């Protein structure tokens, strides 16, 4: 077993991507970001799309920089559900759709009604989300691209194919599609057929830690990574983020907080009860066959879209957060999981409309509106984690809040206050760390997942937030938005 090695993580988020290198030793994990780039969707006559080839160009640029650190392996993680279609020759058919595109409006409810909501949840264990891959396929039923397709690859698998020439589906991301059987953890051909696609469209599954293949010759030559291989990691970014949580023991909850907030528990098995379906919880795969029992919440998308509507960027956020801290508490609250906030555009106006519809005043000033958003997110975190613990019969002693939201001290403190348990914030780059951890273990560096999480605890920056403030006020606020 090697004493140390370096790995490269390609980590693609919904608004930005990065290439990170990690140097592992027996008591060492040094993480260095070597390339960062924007991820901007494309509005085309056919709807909202991802610039997949542009992202691939940025990945190659980042790997060229990473080559200077001599990584032995590359792992790729990205968001879930969206896919590209390949023809029999491996050519990309069209531009992959963005999950915020409106083409699935109404499709999900019709499909669920036809298949049966209880039967569908029993098969795939997924939270009802209109953009789940199974619904995207149903929306594309009969399209020219789907008729011509030989293979469907989720975004990280598509990039892996371009790097290696290997068509494979990584299991944690496959579990978000609605096409995987929650019990057998294999593809469910009847669900694929019900969506109007051929089961042969789906490639074989690989698990985190398995080797995908060596880089193609032209790729190795262009990047300077001769000899490096692509290793399957937890390619769903949330699965990688959970793998990167610096947990000690099993009585923890997590919030992977970025564009989305994914709040839940790591469990040994799925929970597919009627109560879990009614509470809209999802069961997705994690590393080592664990289940990520969680709920999707809109997350910092609400903040990002407010900034965009105001013509501001992240540089304005510190001042707005100071204004939010001074604003009146609980003046107005929204449901941070409301699908009305899914689409881009005019977010402050839509928040205002939601408040007026529930008889609440619209906050005056940007700081006050931001406080409304952050308090609502904290309450959504509270409800998701409390309900998950109740449904799973699991106590939660600490909540790990990882991702970009770990930088937001107000959100971290208010999440602790709302829940009444400590919040341990960080690492900010938990997704990249989790990606790197899986590669390191596959290469024989370090030990099991528990050992690698211990390494994360001792090498990565975190900050502890202890509950404070008026617990009764948070309870009253929760009752106003109908949560626990």
Of 282, 290, 296, 293, the closest CA to residue 124 belongs to 282
Q: What is the pLDDT of residue 1?
A: 44
SS3 for 121-156, per residue?
A: HHHHCCCCCCCCHHHHHHHCCCCHHHHHCCEEEEHH
User: What does the alpha-carbon distance between residue 393 and residue 386 come to, in Å, rounded to a whole number?
Assistant: 10
**Nearest alpha-carbon partner for 228 in 69, 378, 84:** 69
Mean pLDDT, the chain cut into blocks of 10 residues (484 residues total): 83 95 88 96 96 98 98 97 98 96 92 93 94 96 96 98 98 98 96 95 97 98 96 97 93 95 97 96 96 96 96 95 97 94 94 96 97 98 98 97 96 98 96 95 83 90 93 93 78
157, two tokens:
């698998």
What does the pLDDT read at residue 483? 78
> What pLDDT does 447 receive?
72
Q: Exposed (0-12), middle (13-18) or buried (19+): which is 483, by Cβ within 10 Å? A: buried
User: What is residue 165's predicted lDDT score, i.e. its pLDDT?
Assistant: 98
Cβ(240)–Cβ(431) below 8 Å = yes
Taking the CA atoms of 321, 327, 329 and 334 in sequence, report the sign of the dihedral they define: negative
| Tokens read off for 387 | 């309900």
Which one from 237, 335, 383, 417 is the annotated catalytic residue?
Answer: 237
Backbone angles phi and psi of 419, in degrees to 5: -85, -30
Is residue 213 classed exposed, middle or buried when 0-12, 13-18 and 19+ CB atoms within 10 A define those classes? middle
Going from the C-alpha of 33 to that of each of 11, 20, 37, 217, 462, the distances in angstroms are 10, 4, 11, 25, 18
Helix (H, G, I), strand (E, B) or coil at 423: strand
Domains and CATH numbers, the chain: 5-237 (3.30.420.40), 247-426+447-484 (3.30.420.40)
Check residue 26 and give its pLDDT. Answer: 74
User: At which residue do the structure tokens 């610039």 appear?
Assistant: 51
Tokens encoding 318: 């510190």
What does the block give as tokens for 270?
Answer: 């799925």
CA dihedral 195, 199, 202, 203 (to 10 degrees): 170
Q: How far is CA 296 from the centre of its chain?
A: 9
Return the SS3 of 440. helix
Nearest CA-CA partner of 86 in 96, 99, 100, 75? 96
Burial 290-300 (b: 16+ CB within 10 A, else e): bbbbbbbbbbb
Closest C-alpha to 392, from 266, 285, 231: 266
Catalytic-residue membership of 237:
yes
């Amino acid at each position: 077993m090697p004493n140390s090695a370096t790995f490269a993580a390609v980590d693609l988020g919904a608004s930005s991507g990065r290439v990170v290198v990690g140097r592992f030793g027996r008591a060492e994990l040094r993480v260095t970001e070597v390339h960062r780039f924007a991820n901007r969707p494309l509005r085309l006559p056919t709807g909202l799309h991802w610039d997949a080839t542009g992202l691939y160009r940025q990945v190659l640029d980042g790997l060229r920089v990473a080559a200077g650190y001599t990584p032995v392996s590359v792992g790729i993680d990205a968001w879930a559900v969206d896919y590209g279609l390949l023809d029999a020759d491996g050519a990309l058919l069209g531009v992959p759709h963005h999950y915020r595109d409106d083409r699935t409006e109404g499709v999900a409810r019709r499909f669920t009604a036809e298949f049966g909501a209880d039967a569908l949840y029993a098969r795939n264990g997924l939270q009802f989300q209109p953009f789940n891959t199974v619904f995207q396929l149903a929306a594309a039923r009969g399209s020219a691209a789907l008729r011509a397709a030989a293979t469907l690859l989720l975004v990280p698998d598509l990039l892996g194919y371009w790097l290696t020439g290997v068509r494979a589906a990584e299991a944690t991301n496959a579990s978000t599609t609605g096409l995987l059987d929650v019990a057998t953890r294999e593809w469910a051909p009847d669900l694929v057929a019900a969506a109007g696609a051929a089961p042969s469209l789906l490639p074989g599954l690989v698990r985190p830690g398995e080797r995908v293949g060596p880089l193609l010759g032209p790729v190795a030559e262009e990047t300077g990574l001769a000899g490096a291989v692509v290793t399957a990691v937890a390619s769903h970014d949330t699965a990688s983020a959970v793998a990167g949580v610096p947990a000690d023991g099993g009585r923890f909850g997590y919030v992977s907080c970025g564009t989305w907030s994914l709040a839940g528990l790591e469990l040994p098995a799925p929970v597919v009860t009627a109560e879990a379906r009614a509470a809209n919880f999802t069961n997705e795969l994690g590393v080592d066959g664990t289940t990520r029992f969680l709920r999707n919440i809109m997350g910092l998308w609400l903040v990002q879209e407010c900034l965009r509507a105001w013509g501001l960027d992240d540089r304005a956020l510190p001042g707005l957060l100071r204004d939010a801290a001074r604003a009146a508490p609980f003046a107005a609250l929204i449901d941070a999981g409301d699908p009305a906030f899914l689409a881009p555009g005019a977010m402050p106006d839509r928040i205002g409309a939601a408040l007026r519809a529930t008889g609440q005043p619209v906050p005056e000033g940007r700081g006050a509106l931001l406080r409304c958003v952050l308090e609502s997110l904290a309450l959504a975190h509270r409800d998701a984690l409390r309900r998950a613990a109740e449904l799973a019969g699991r106590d939660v002693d600490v909540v790990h809040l990882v991702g970009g939201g770990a930088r937001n001290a107000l959100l971290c403190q208010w999440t602790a206050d709302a829940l009444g348990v400590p919040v341990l914030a960080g690492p900010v780059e938990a997704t990249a760390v989790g990606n790197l951890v899986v590669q390191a273990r596959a290469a024989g560096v370090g030990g099991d997942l528990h050992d690698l999480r211990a390494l994360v605890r001792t090498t990565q920056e975190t900050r502890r937030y202890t509950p404070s403030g008026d617990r009764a006020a948070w309870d009253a606020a929760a009752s106003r938005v109908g949560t626990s």
